[in-house]
Amino acid sequence: MPAPTTSPSVALVTGGTSGIGLAIAQALLQDGFKVVVTGRDTGKLDTVLRSLKMENDRFHVAGYACDVRDRAAVRTMVEQCVTEHGEPRILVNNAGRSGGGVTAAIPDELWLDVIETNLNSVFWVTREVIRASEAIKQPAGRIINIASTGGKQGVPYGAPYSAAKAGVIGFTKALAKEFAQAGGPTVNAVCPGYVETPMARDIRAGYAKLNGVSEEEVLAEFEAKIPLGRYCTPEEVAGMVRYLAGPAAASVTAQALNVCGGLGSY
* Alpha-carbon span 251 to 18, nearest angstrom: 30
CATH 3.40.50.720 domain position(s) in the chain: 10-193+233-259
The tens digit of pLDDT for each residue in 46-57 reads: 999 999 999 888
Q: Which pLDDT score is estimated for 201?
A: 87
Average pLDDT value for the chain:
94
* Alpha-carbon span 121 to 3, nearest angstrom: 41
Would the pTM count as exceeding 0.85?
yes
Q: Right CATH number for 10-193+233-259 from 3.20.20.70, 3.30.450.20, 3.50.50.60, 3.40.50.720?
A: 3.40.50.720
Is residue 64 among the annotated active site residues? no
Nearest Cα to Cα of residue 18 among 63, 57, 76: 63
Per-residue confidence band for 81, with pLDDT thresholds at 50, 70 and 90: very high
Q: Which pLDDT score is estimated for 5?
A: 46
Q: Is 80 exposed, middle or buried (0-12, 13-18, 19+ CB in 10 A)?
A: middle
User: Considering 64, 161, 194, 231, which one is annotated as catalytic?
Assistant: 161
Backbone angles phi, psi at 265, to 5 degrees: -125, 25
Structural contact between residues 253 and 176, judged by C-beta atoms closer than 8 angstroms: yes
